[in-house]
Structure 1
Amino acid sequence: MGLFGILLALGLLMWLAYRGWSVILLSPAAALLAALISGEPLLASWTSTFMGGTAGFVARWFPLFLLGGIFGKLMDDSGSIIAIARYLTEKLGVRRTMLSVVLASAVVTYGGVSVFVAFFVLVPMTREMFKAANIPARLMPAAIGLGAFTFTMSALPGTPSTNNAIPMPYFGTTTFAAPGLGIIASLITLAFGMWWLQRAEAKARTAGESYVEDAEAIAITEKVREQATTSGDFDPAEFDHGQRSDDNPPFILAVLPLVVVIVVNFLMALVVLPRIDFSFLKSEPWGIDVSATIGVWAVLIALAAANITVIAINFRRLLRLRESVDAGANSSVLPILTIASLVGFGAVVAAMPAFAVIRDAVLHIPGGPLVSLVVAMNALAGLTGTASGGMAIALNALGSEFMRLAVEHDIDPALMHRLTVISAGTLDALPHNGTVLLLLQISKQTHAGSYLDMVMTVIVGVIISLVAVFILGSMFGSF
């Protein structure tokens, strides 16, 4: 009965979440349902196990969500995102519209801007470019998705995305884990995605398809908002708060904060922080495992430095600085509580005796720890429709076991980190994924018209890169 309760609770959680119910409400309700069927104490499961898992995730990751939300809002209101996108599109020209859109999406998200913030800026510009190049609008989501939430979220070394950060405390790694494998995965994903987009564009032209002006924009409803915040780190409701500048900065100044994020993150993670003696933090009252925390601290310092940089070079452009900062801060609350609630649900499930069956089945999948890791991340990301949520649930329940297996089998934790992130970024983009739903909504496109091309650019291409990284990592280890 325990296993049935777990599966029933998970099924209801995902189904109702897809229909727009708040995950913050659904997660404890589903956890209590599973506990009830399993015969576990309800109040203890809620107030102790569930809240312990939820509070632990918030305590660990709220600073990252907070600084990331502020950074994305400041980059948008200063006009920096528009300046970067326009510069790249002007340099590449109408003939390279697809490449322009992909690169513009990749640059801003690799630099730490939330994909949701990027969507609201990039979609209108992409619409103008597609209209000028006479490319069917149905291909917009596939092009933006390829640049915004594939290799820049999970493969490129140093990306400060939440997805790339979550494995760090479990494996004692940094965002630069397995840089060579990450670059290879990024190139494969980008090359395959561009091949498909160019093929789709050529096929559309041969068929006589052209750009057609779409209908009026649809407001972001509460249902879409709830779906989106399960898989992102920015609350779309805060996008219209603050004020965007009409005076965009020059490209060099616009891209400077993104450079600051990557450079400072690299220096802090690999040069500065490892050389500082933090031994005093191992004792009371701190009791901190610094080796598992340096990667997180590096990202936080990098985002803080980038926020200061944005304000310093765009002070006159940020017309309502306080409102922009407030909106960015507020935008982080709903996403982190949503994902934390999923982690709380996972904590209740992991505490049940029946979970031992699931754990043993996952850890003993033929092929070794790397196969088990890849299967677990793909399965949970696909079921939950969120890479970060699925990854957090899996690592919270099995992270220590995967680390133990890595030590036993002499596997570099950096390889585990990179496989974890790439694996979680594959099947998470199924039709019920919040990022997919929001992008289609903003683009005013439908699953029927656009999703097949999205599957090829944001799922199939990533799976191919995952296979390549798995083979190379198994043969040569991490590099």
Structure 2
Amino acid sequence: MGLLGILLGLGLLIWLAYRGWSVLLLTPLAAMLAAAFAFEPLLANWTQTFMTGAAGFIAQFFPIFLLGALFGKLMEDSGSVRTVAGFIGDKLGPRRGILAVVLAGALVTYGGVSLFVAFFVLVPMATALFRDAGIPRRLMPAAIALGTSTFTMSMLPGTPAVQNAIPMPFFGTTPFAAPVLGLIATAITLVFGLWWLGLMEAAARKRGEGFEAEAGGTASAEQAAEDLVVRERATVTREFDPAEVQRGGACTDRPGVLVAALPLVVVLAVNLTMTALVLPNLDLGFLAEERFGPTTPAAVSGIWSVSVALATAILVLIALNRRRLTDLRASVDAGVNASVLPIVSVASLVGFGTVVAALPAFELVRDWVLGIEGGPLVSLAVSTNVLAALTGSASGGLTIALEALGETYMALAADLGIDPALMHRVAVIGAGTLDMLPHNGAVVTLLAVCGTTHRESYRDIVMVAIVGALFALAAVIVLGTLLGSF
């Protein structure tokens, strides 16, 4: 009965979330359903187990959600994102329109700009380039997804994406875990994605298919951002509430490309400096004091690195663009507000996972996952893939998997001599593959803004964001098994 309750609770959560119901209500309901089938005390599971899991996630990761959303909003309102994207588009031109869109998306998201901010900037740029080059509109979502939602989220070493931060407290790793393996995975995903998009562009030209002059049903950025179903799905996907995209005080006077790109460079440079030089040489023995709770330097240093990097970049951005940020308070308010609903939504998913993991029947699930042939790396990849697919959220699925099985995987890693950095990279890449199923908030939002449908564009998204990432994941597992972490 307990296992049936888990399946029914998960099914209810997926079905109603896909229909646009808020996970803030669905997750405790689904958790209580699972607990009821296991004959567990309902109120205790809600107030003690569910809320403890949700609150723990917020306590750990709210700084990254808050600073990431604020940085993305200030980059948008200062005109910096448009400047960087426009510079790449101008340099590569319409003849290499697909490459320009991919690289522009990769640069801004690897530099810390929130996904949905990037979407609303990249779509107008891609529309202009694709129209001039005669590339079908239906390829726009896949090109944008390749640059923003694959290797810059889970593979490139040092990426400030929250998904890359989630394994750090569990494994005691840094944002730069398994850097060479991450670069190899990036190369595989990027090359495969560009090959596929080039193939589709050539096939379209052969058929005489060009850019559609009028895209029926194209949603404006404001309409897509305010759509309630889009918003509910989007807020469990990334750290930015799309409804805040249109708020704030956007400027019309854009900065030069060097000024625009400098905050992106600051994020990466400070992150690396904190990880490699500053924190390893600090005396963090004070963390053993009771007032700081049960933690270790390894559990918090990764979060601190990313937080300091984003905070520093925000200060640099404001200093460089104070004149352009005509209503700084409105921009700051929109940025910080954009972080609230996403982190509470993802934390609610984590709370659901915490309840499920505490049920006696979950031992059957744990035994099945750990019994998957291929060793801990394969079972870790499968568990993060499956949970990210079911929840439609890489961050939610990844946290649920690690909350339930993180200690077990660390014990296996110690017994088998597996570097935790390798576990980190496999877990993150695994969460960033099947999360891009049709109900994923990023997919729904991107299609809405591009003015295309699942029928027109989803196959290409699957190829560049799922198939390519699965190839990269397989390569990392094989190389990690043979050669270890590097």
What residue identity is the alignment partner of 2:281? Answer: R
Question: In the alignment, what sits opposite 1:261?
Answer: 267
Q: Distance in 2 between matches of 1:425 and 1:280?
A: 36
Cross-structure match for 2:57: 57
Q: Equivalent of 1:477, from 458, 481, 484?
A: 484
Correspondence list, 1:264-279, <5 A: 264-279=270-285
The corresponding residue for 2:232 is 226
| Partner residue, 2:450 | 443
- Give the drift of 1:311: 0.3
Corresponding residue number in structure 1 for 2:371:
364
Q: Secondary structure at the match of 1:332?
A: helix
Report the Cα offset of residue 243 of structure 1.
2.0
Q: What is aligned with 2:128?
A: 128
Structure 1 gaps, min length 5:
none
Residue 223 of structure 1 aligns to which amino acid in structure 2?
Answer: V
| Distance apart, 1:393 and its partner CA | 0.5
In structure 1, the residue matched to 2:152 is 152
Tell me whether 1:298 sits opposite 2:305 in the alignment: yes
Q: 2:439 matched to 1:432?
A: yes
AA at the equivalent of 2:102:
V
Cα offsets for 1:297-318 (capped at 9, x unmatched): 0000000001001100000000
Report how far residue 128 of structure 1 moved.
1.0
Output the CA distance in 2 between the equivalents of 1:120 and 1:264: 27
After TM superposition, the structure 1 stretch with the greater mean CA deviation from structure 2, 215-224 or 165-174, is: 215-224
2-structure distance, mates of 1:354, 1:284: 34
2:391 maps to a residue whose letter is T
Q: Secondary structure at the match of 1:223?
A: helix
SS, match of residue 331 in structure 1: helix
Query: How far apart in 1 are the matches of 2:7 and 2:316?
Result: 48
- Residues 257-303 of structure 1 show CA distances to partners (whole Å, capped at 9, x for unaligned) of 00000000000011101100011221221243111110110000000
The answer for the alignment partner of 1:75 in structure 2 is 75
Query: Percent identical across equivalent pairs?
Result: 60
Give me the whole-angstrom Cα distance separating, in 2, the residues matched to 1:228 and 1:291: 31
Listed one character per residue, the Cα deviations across residues 102-121 of structure 1 (whole Å, up to 9, x for unaligned) are 00000000001111110011
**Deviating 4+ runs (over 6 angstroms):** none
Alpha-carbon distance in 1 for matches of 2:297, 2:448:
42
* Residue 327 of structure 2 is aligned to residue 325 of structure 1: no
Give, in whole Å, the separation in 2 of the partners of 1:459 and 1:368. 22
Specify the SS of the correspondent of 1:445: coil
The aligned amino acid for 1:392 is T
> Are 1:191 and 2:191 counterparts?
yes
With the length of structure 2 as denominator, give the TM-score of the two structures: 0.98
Residue 238 of structure 1: aligned partner:
244
Distance in 2 separating the partners of 1:424 and 1:199: 27
| 1:30-55 deviation per Cα after TM superposition (whole angstroms, max 9, x unaligned) | 00111111100010010000000010
Partner Cα separation in structure 1 for residue 140 and residue 479 of structure 2: 33
Q: Match of 1:141?
A: 141
Between the aligned partners of 1:169 and 1:226, the Cα distance in structure 2 is: 28
Q: Which moved more, 1:285-294 or 1:63-72?
A: 285-294
The range that moved more, 283-292 or 149-158, is: 283-292
Moved more, 137-146 or 89-98: 89-98
Report the Cα distance in structure 2 between the residues aligned to 1:367 and 1:122, rounded to whole angstroms.
Answer: 40
Which letter maps to 2:10?
A: L
The AA in structure 2 aligned to 1:214 is: A
1:175 maps to 175
Q: Does 1:119 align with 2:119?
A: yes
Q: Residues of 2 paired with 1:389 and 1:207: CA distance? A: 42
CA distance in structure 2 between the aligned counterparts of 1:147 and 1:377, rounded to whole angstroms = 22
> What is the distance in 2 between the residues matched to 1:404 and 1:320?
51
**Residues of 2 paired with 1:277 and 1:217: CA distance?**
53
Offset at residue 230 of structure 1 (A): 1.2
Answer yes or no: is the 8 Å Cα contact 2:89–2:125 preserved in 1: no
Partner of 1:21: 21
Deviation at 1:125, TM superposition (A): 1.2
How far off is 1:144 after superposition? 0.3
- Cα RMSD after superposing both structures: 0.8
| Cα offset, 1:399, TM superposition | 0.7
Mapped partners of 1:303, 1:243: distance in 2 = 21
Q: Which runs of 5+ in 2 are unaligned?
A: none
Residue 385 of structure 2 is aligned to residue 378 of structure 1? yes
Structure 2: which amino acid aligns with 1:95? Answer: R
TM-score between both structures, scaled by the size of structure 1: 0.99
Letter of the structure 2 residue corresponding to residue 4 of structure 1: L
Return the alpha-carbon distance in structure 1 between the equivalents of residues 309 and 154 of structure 2.
18
Hey, what's the Cα distance between the residues in 1 that align with 2:152 and 2:287?
33
Residue 477 of structure 1, CA deviation: 0.3
1:457 aligned onto 2:464: yes
How many residues in Structure 1 have an aligned counterpart in Structure 2? 479
Deviations 1:395-452 (A, max 9, x none): 1111111111110100000000000000111100011111111100111110000001
Amino acid paired to 1:256 = L
